[in-house]
Amino acid sequence: MRLKSLAIAGLAAALMASTFGATAEEVLRLRMNGDINSVDPIATTNFTIRNSAYLIYDTLFALDADFQVQPQMAESVAISDDQLTYTITLRDGLKFHDGAAVTAADAVASLERWGKVDGLGKILFSKHESLTASDDKTIVLKMKEPWAQVLPALGKISSNVPFIMPARLAANDPTTPVTEAIGSGPFRMVAEEWVPGSVAVYEKFADYVPRSEPASMAAGGKVAKFDRIEIRYIPDSSQAVDALLNGEIDWIEDVAADLIPLFEGSETAYVFANPQAGNSLQLVVNHLNPPFDNPKVREALQWALEPTPFMQAIFGEQTQLYQVCVAIFFCGSPYESTVNTDRIMTRDPAKAKALLAEAGYDGTPVFLPHVTDIPFHDHAYSVLKPMLEEAGFVVDEQMTDWASVSTRRASKEPVDKGGWNLFFTGWGYVDQSNPMTNVYVAGAGLDGWFGWADSAELRELRTRFAATSDPVEQKALADEMQSVAYDLVPFVPLGQASLAQGVASNLEGFIDSPVPFFWNVSRKQ
């Protein structure tokens, strides 16, 4: 009781503090899924950090509402006839938050850092000959061979996003997060007011010059209509909903299904089911640590689970918010498939136990970091533990928060030294529907995303996919990727969901997008 009282008191004090120096009309107050514990969107794929980074940083290119690549910080791009040289010119008036002009050298350093960690970026840099700044406004990218994914890579809008930061910060190794938030985006972070575990504050950047085109998803004019944005960490979901309904905050990224009825009859806020911002529930598997370093144990994991109970536990009667879909490239995408999904759709604990016996499973505990501050995850872990135990796994469950898991998942150490076995995440449609950005078909091993699944066959299939523009061939290759991946088991898919976002009724101007953007948002007059 005392802990809850302290949490409520802390929120009240924080909300009271937010009124000093800025009126309610000037402040947009957000509650995201997790804490702002980093300002480096290259060192992590954490969506909470990505979402906040869009306030701070800008990109050379971006996707519009038709998922077409458009110039953003770039004024133009010229491509040579042989498709090997890309000459990118920066637009006028670009400034960093520290007052320095954005130069081509900053962009080069930022892209080089991004290319060391992002899956698509790694492929781009494996195919490039050079990336240079020929002068302060001109970036020259030379490829060793034509590659149709160059601009889609530079314009990708989700983790890792190729954000541009000063070259002095981009000089940091991407495994070492930068701690100074200097970008050229429409808002600047107020470092002295950032309190991890409580609040992150951003102010309108007076020197930002929006593009003249209308805003269209991540592209076009980014017009800051609020003087100040506050991202508040409220781990208790019911408390966050109360704050929204009482007008103390303005937006919640994900409202738990069991809290949606609280919005009925409210004049201050409503729930918007955003399918573009939806994701799938994905149980990521660490291939480095026992017991899941054994392929038969990974297969046993597939037989131990099935999607429907997870979706029911998370959404209850709100069936409009989910579908039982396990397509690796998402249902509704051009690459939707049911290939090799029998072990995922059908639960058989007896078969799982037999596979564990065949694998010589010795009772090594499966470490479960049960995330409690995101309802989507909290409910899923509550279903996962008994399912694993019924199938013969020994489980070591520890209660934690998403910020801790998003940090721990980077460790390749054994569990007793800070490593892990399994964790839930939720990559979204824009990331997973494209085989070139779907982390689970990369097969990159130690150079890949968390879990470090290794497959030369997947790497070859993706190379062939990138080399063809024939839709029929691409679909066949995508089906084959799904088949190989579900034998490898980099993750177990457990259903596809829409995000139920809570929105203050007096807001307007939200951009339809898989990623939440907060430029162009204003209060109704």
Which CATH number is 338's domain given?
A: 3.10.105.10
| pLDDT tens by residue, 204-239 | 999 999 999 999 999 999 999 999 999 999 999 999
Instruction: Identify the domain containing residue 388 by its residue range.
Output: 276-499
User: Do residues 161 and 286 both lie within one domain?
Assistant: no
Domain count, the chain: 2
Domain-located, residue 493: yes
- What is the chain's mean pLDDT, rounded? 93
Measure the CA–CA gap between 475 and 472, rounded to whole angstroms: 5
**pLDDT 10s digits, 406-453:** 999 999 999 999 999 999 998 888 889 899 999 999 999 999 999 999
This prediction has a pTM of 0.78
Alpha carbons 125 and 131: distance in angstroms, whole number = 9
Q: pLDDT class for 13, splitting at 50, 70, 90?
A: very low
C-alpha radius of gyration, the chain, whole number: 23
- Top pLDDT among 250 and 467 is at 250
The reply to whether 435 falls in a domain is: yes
Do 493 and 372 sit in the same domain of this protein?
Answer: yes
Average pLDDT, integer, range 168-172: 97
Beta strands in 35-166 (DSSP E): 58-59, 61-63, 69-71, 74-79, 85-90, 128-135, 138-143, 163-164
**What single letter denotes the amino acid at residue 433?**
S
Tens digits of residue pLDDT in 298-320: 999 999 999 999 999 999 999 98
- pLDDT band for 19, please (50, 70, 90 cuts): very low
Boundary-marking domain end, from 150, 170, 190 = 170
Find the largest Cα–Cα distance for the chain. Answer: 69
Tell whether 230 is covered by a domain.
no
CB 120 within 8 A of CB 129: no
Strands, E assignment, 372-504: 395-400, 422-425, 491-504
Measure the CA–CA gap between 481 and 49, rounded to whole angstroms. Answer: 29
The model's pLDDT over 124-138, given as tens digits with 9 standing for 90+, comes to: 999 999 999 999 999
- Say what the pLDDT of residue 332 is: 82
Is position 189 within any domain? no
Which residues, at least 6 apart from 478, have a Cβ–Cβ distance to it below 8 Å? Answer: 329, 335, 337, 435, 465
Element (H or E) spanning 309, and its range?
A: helix 307-315
Look at residue 19 and tell me if it is in a domain.
no
Q: How far apart are CA 108 and CA 277, in angstroms?
A: 30
Residue 135 lies in a domain: yes
List, for residues 108-129, the tens digit of each pLDDT value. 999 999 999 998 999 999 999 9
Q: What is the CATH number of the domain that holds 115?
A: 3.90.76.10
Q: Based on the domain organization, do 292 and 148 belong to the same domain?
A: no
Task: Write down which residue in 170, 202, 220 finishes a domain.
Answer: 170
412 is a domain residue: yes
The residue out of 103, 137, 170 marking a domain boundary is 170
pLDDT at 10: 41
